[in-house]
Amino acid sequence: MITIVKSTALHGLDGQIVEVEVDVSRGLPSFDLVGLPDTSVREAKDRVRSAIKNSGFEFPVRRITVNLAPADIKKEGPMYDLPIALGILAATGQIEPLRCSDYVYLGELSLNGSLRGVSGVLPNTLAAREACLSEIIVPAENAGEAALVEGIKVIPASSLAELAGFLRGEKDIKPFKLDLDRLMDSACDEELDFTDVRGQQAARRALEVAAAGGHNIIMLGSPGSGKTMLARRLPGILPDLTFPEAIEATKIHSLAGLLPPGRPMVTRRPFRSPHHTASTASIIGGGRVPKPGEVSLAHNGVLFLDEMPEFHKDALEALRQPLEDGVVTISRVNASITYPAGLMLVAACNPCPCGYYGDAARECKCTPYQVERYISRLSGPLLDRVDIHIEVPRLSFEEIAAGNKPESSKTIKRRVEAARAIQRARFGAAAQEGDTKNKFPANNARMGPGEVRRYCKMTKSARSLLKEAFKQLSLSARSHDRILKVARTAADLEGSELIEESHVAEAIQYRSLDRRRLI
């Protein structure tokens, strides 16, 4: 007898329906699994056999053939355990085949028949909805994640025996309901606050501008000047995630298996901080079977590269596409997958190998050649894609011991949100005017050349200043546009329609590495 049970398969973040076809027929006892399964899917044969027996059902001593259709798509992971087991039970008449066909199934089986959670439940559930299917059965551990998708009835199951009883009408399992408002408002780990940062007014202002416009930023300073401390407080002044942004971030973390227990959704902007020994594949994504890397895990959040020149050169140069396009494309012989990478890059580096070049308190022991070679690890094309370069000097004793309380993250965040609201209104108005583009930038940093010309209107004095800086600093066309984008954000923070000379001057000051290359 042949039965068909539905499941899903992912290609990157996109999914499609997979039909698990099970044929139990006469012949020598065997268990064949076909349809491009990977190793974890092939191992399902042993897990399914033990789970069926230990759940009180009879495993057929017959010829079993399981086909995962369509057969030209790679099937990965243990989530096919549950549909394979149910297909065998339906093919042998131990549960009703027609009842099984009403649902999509995902889940890994333990040897005793209980269901374990699997990764990628959210994108798989979205794939089921796109296929116009309205009911899905998942492990109870993944029910909250699947319930994020509107229009899908989620049935949480704890074991194969419980689910079989439900399908036979002997047990009732209530659909899982998710309190989305409570989830979005639920308390997470406390954000680090800018009140802990003493002094560094220029760096604080640069981070505020970066947050307001979504700009990439690199901080240059000697060890102990507070670069890492500042970077880790940046998420606290970024606007809260919207629900669509949270779903996008959750899809990637779900696929990577990084959702923490009891937290079915990413509700705070991601902050990723890979070590400088990380490989190119771990940062960009890849592997034999392409998986999202740090740039995708930081989507809608912050990627922090501490000691940036110490990273492998290939990894740094590979950042150029995601920083420019907001996506990363991983190409392999058998697949080409695109993951979102709409991140803010925050980098920190020392000015030289010993770290004390230009330091007022300690003498630098590096030769000019060593200093130049160290900074040259950051290529010009890469630095062109970073909007803000800021120097973070060593603090004096008076600044550290000052009794005044610095501004809190909450106060800075209000100004950032006001600037972002101006940007949303600006680009939303462009959409209503019927601009020829299909996608509009979400913030100033994402403006293309056309938007820069359209929205970055300057006063005459501001234009003269920019012209002089362009000549003296030998700026590229990309650097020219990035100065205008940062100046536009500085103007938005002040509520100014036109970009003033002071805004351009501030933006030019944020190109310290361009100036340094001319020395």
Q: What is the pLDDT of residues 91-121, one digit of tens each?
A: 999 998 888 888 999 999 999 999 999 999 9
Task: Give the residue carrying structure tokens 């030289």.
Answer: 352
Q: What angle do CA 319, 390, 346 make, to 5 degrees?
A: 35
At residue 261, the 3 state secondary structure works out as coil
- Whole-angstrom Cα distance, residue 146 to residue 128? 10
**Closest by CA position to 281, among listed 235, 325, 326, 337:** 337
Helix axes 201-213, 477-493, angle to 10 degrees: 100
Helix axes 460-472, 501-509, angle to 10 degrees: 20
What dihedral angle (degrees, nearest 10) is formed by the CA atoms of 494, 496, 498, 502? -30
* 252 DSSP 8-state letter: H
H or E, element range at 156:
strand 153-157
- For the beta carbon of residue 397, count every other beta carbon within 10 angstroms: 7
Q: Which residues pair with 10 in a beta bridge?
A: 15
What dihedral angle (degrees, nearest 10) is formed by the CA atoms of 259, 263, 264, 269? -70
Entry field: residues in the chain: 519
H or E, element range at 115:
strand 115-116
3-state helix, strand, coil in the chain (%, to 5): 45, 20, 40
Q: What angle do CA 8, 10, 12 make, to 5 degrees?
A: 165
Domains defined along the chain, listed by start:
2-178 (3.30.230.10), 195-414 (3.40.50.300), 437-517 (1.10.8)
Per-residue pLDDT of the chain (519 residues; tens, 9 = 90+): 789 999 999 888 888 999 999 999 998 999 999 999 999 999 999 999 999 999 999 999 999 999 999 998 889 999 999 999 999 999 999 998 888 888 999 999 999 999 999 999 999 999 999 999 999 999 999 999 999 999 999 999 999 999 999 999 899 999 999 887 777 766 455 678 888 888 888 999 999 999 999 999 999 988 888 899 999 999 999 999 988 999 999 999 999 989 988 888 998 999 999 999 999 999 999 877 788 999 999 999 999 999 999 999 999 999 998 998 899 988 877 678 889 999 999 999 998 999 888 887 888 989 989 988 998 898 888 988 899 999 998 887 777 777 678 889 999 999 999 999 999 998 886 544 444 343 556 789 999 888 999 999 999 999 999 999 888 888 888 888 999 999 999 999 999 999 999 999 999 999 877 655 544
pTM: 0.88
